[in-house]
Amino acid sequence: MSPSAGRPSWSLPDNAVTEESAYSSRRRFLGALGLGGSAGVALALGARGAWVHRLTRGLPVPEALRARVASEFIDAGRTLTPEEVATRYNNYYEFSTDKRRVFDLARNFVLDPYTLRVDGLVERPGNITLERIEALGLQERVYRFRCVEAWAMTVPWIGVPLRDVLALAGPQPEARYVALQSFDDPEQAPGQREGTYTFPYYEALRIEEAENELALVATGLYGKRLTPQNGAPLRLVLPWKYGYKSPKSVVRLRLTRDRPQTFWNDLQPREYSWLSNVDPAVPHPRWSQRFERLLGSGERVPTEAFNGYGREVAHLYRG
């Protein structure tokens, strides 16, 4: 499928090719935000607006997405990560393992037509449209987000509770797990053509985790539709787990009785557990998890158990 075929209305034409100067500016800009090397310190803050403008030139501008503010989740106890950081520094191995290249490689990525298939142990298996999911009632929630690599961000997501999406299909009583699958389209995703990893990306949750209030199906961030690099048109956000448990561009949910396998746990079980709840007391074999670096400010702060969401989820793991 051609990446430009059947563009949705939110994906504006991308007529400007990024110039070489924009690349070097981008590197300096990210450096200034505490992401790159030491060179960033030299960048005058006054120039920031210009850098952002040059960075975004030629990129599709996502459509605004309206949502009601969920008052319980409006204060994550941390400053919001700048939008231009959360949308330019991404883990998305289907496109690249280089976090700073993902946004550029994914700029034309689109799943169209898009539907979410929900099947397995459900009463009403089938394909659900984005419109139907969003009609469940979009909420804006600010969540802390912690990658296993010890960086963290704070993002205003827009979405609906995963349990409301599951309820559309009606889980059967025997269903114990939810398997999540990302898109599969090597023509659009260079990382899928390389053959280094087993795609499509796959993840899974216990049904009690999937039905927890915190588990969000996101279709937007920062007041707009999700960018391709952040997982358009729909992704999971599970703020008490390491970032890789939140798959992007999800196309299928399958309810099962047996525990499904998961991408990172299959690759390296000693480094990535199946549950992967954020836990400062359990080091990664190659680094400590006691602290994390905040994207944007570069500040180093202590990591909290369940990423600070113990009140909501700790009961799921007792006994």
Ligand X SMILES: Nc1nc2c(c(=O)[nH]1)N[C@H]1C(S)=C(S)[C@@H](COP(=O)(O)O)O[C@H]1N2
**Residues lying near ligand X in the complex (CB under 6 A):** 90-94, 147, 182, 201, 230, 243-244, 246-249
Residue 205 to residue 228: CA distance in whole angstroms: 24
Which of residues 32 and 147 has its CB atom nearest to Mo ion in the complex? 147
| Interface with Mo ion, residue 91, by CB under 5 A | yes
Which of residues 63 and 98 has its CB atom nearest to Mo ion in the complex? 98
Count of alpha carbons within 13 Å of 59, Cβ hemisphere only?
22
Residue 246 to residue 243: CA distance in whole angstroms: 6
HEC string of 133-162 equals HHCCCCEEEEEEEECCCCEEEEEEEEEEEH
Q: Compute the least distance from the CB of residue 84 to ligand X, in Å.
A: 13
Terminal CA-CA length for the chain: 49
The residue range among 10-18, 50-58, 194-202, 242-250 that interacts with Mo ion, by the rule CB under 5 A, is 242-250
Write the CB contacts of 109 (distance below 8 Å, at least 6 apart in sequence): 3, 95, 188, 189, 228, 232, 249
* Residue 90 partner contact from Mo ion, ligand X, none using kind-dependent CB cut-offs of 5 to 8 Å: ligand X
* Residue 240 partner contact from ligand X, Mo ion, none using kind-dependent CB cut-offs of 5 to 8 Å: none
Which of residues 94 and 134 has its CB atom nearest to ligand X in the complex? 94
* Residue 247 partner contact from Mo ion, ligand X, none using kind-dependent CB cut-offs of 5 to 8 Å: ligand X
The residue range among 89-97, 150-158, 250-258, 307-315 that interacts with Mo ion, by the rule CB under 5 A, is 89-97
Which class for 78: exposed (0-12), middle (13-18), buried (19 or more C-beta within 10 A)?
Answer: middle
Interface with Mo ion: number of residues (CB under 5 A): 4
Q: Compute the least distance from the CB of residue 78 to ligand X, in Å.
A: 15
Whether cis (ω within 30° of 0) applies to the bond prior to 228 is no
Which of residues 79 and 172 has its CB atom nearest to ligand X in the complex? 79
Residue 6 tokens, joined:
């059947």
Task: Please list every residue from 138 through 157 that binds Mo ion, using CB under 5 A.
Answer: 147
Of 243, 260, 296, 308, the residue at the interface with Mo ion (CB under 5 A) is 243
Q: Would you tell me which residues interact with Mo ion (CB under 5 A)?
A: 91, 147, 243-244
